Amino acid sequence: MAQMAEEMEVLEEQICPVCSQKGLTLMDYQKDIPYFGKTYFFSMDCNKCGYHKADIENDEDKEPCKYTLEITSEADMKIRVAKSSNATIKIPFVGDIESGPSSNGYVTNVEGILNRMQKQVENIRDNSDDEEERKKAKNLAKKITKILWGQEKAKLILEDPTGNSAIISDKAKKEKLKK
């Protein structure tokens, strides 16, 4: 099990880069994650405008990496995933979580990744003006639920050009990311 934060620094009432008000809390801490090593966590949260940004970074320089995990059972939902803001997650025939300026880094598990995708799909299903788009989202939400319940198999692919991400399981296949 991972240790509690070894060192934590919190700065409150900083100037927010979005709303320019003194409501930003900056936090950084480090944690030793088994099989991944010493990891730094950074976050910014503004209590004035709701701005949020988070990232993770490994203490050691890592090679660009690609992890592939075959999700075959409900037990696979517990597999730990460390995703940096530079990483892209792909689940073929389901969806992607792209990297980019608004992307966050986090540590979660396979279930957490699927739940994030489920929320996005349900938002489209419930709010799209396009009937066809709503129908596709409804079917995709059902598919994600079946994967979550271990009733349908899927493949999770994590690609990180910085190497600051990992799928922490013997089931995951790691290879060098090809550019």
Task: From residue 73, give the alpha-carbon distance in Å to each of 43, 77, 140, 173.
Answer: 33, 8, 18, 17
CB contact set of 82 (below 8 Å; sequence gap of 6+)? 33, 36, 39, 56, 106, 107, 164, 165, 166, 168
Cβ atoms within 10 Å, residue 117: 20
Query: What pTM did the predictor assign?
Result: 0.77
Phi, psi (degrees; rounded to nearest 5) at 130: -90, 115
Full pLDDT tens readout for the chain, 179 residues:
344 446 789 999 999 999 999 999 999 988 887 666 788 889 999 999 999 988 888 777 788 999 999 999 999 999 999 998 889 999 999 988 888 777 888 889 999 999 999 999 999 999 999 999 999 999 999 999 999 999 999 999 999 998 889 999 999 999 998 86
What is residue 5's predicted lDDT score, i.e. its pLDDT? 46
What is residue 34's predicted lDDT score, i.e. its pLDDT? 66
CA distance 58 to 164: 5
55: left (phi over 0), alpha (psi -120 to 50) or beta: beta
CB contact set of 14 (below 8 Å; sequence gap of 6+)? 22, 24, 25, 26
Domains of the chain plus CATH, in order, are 1-60 (2.20.25), 61-179 (2.60.120.1040)
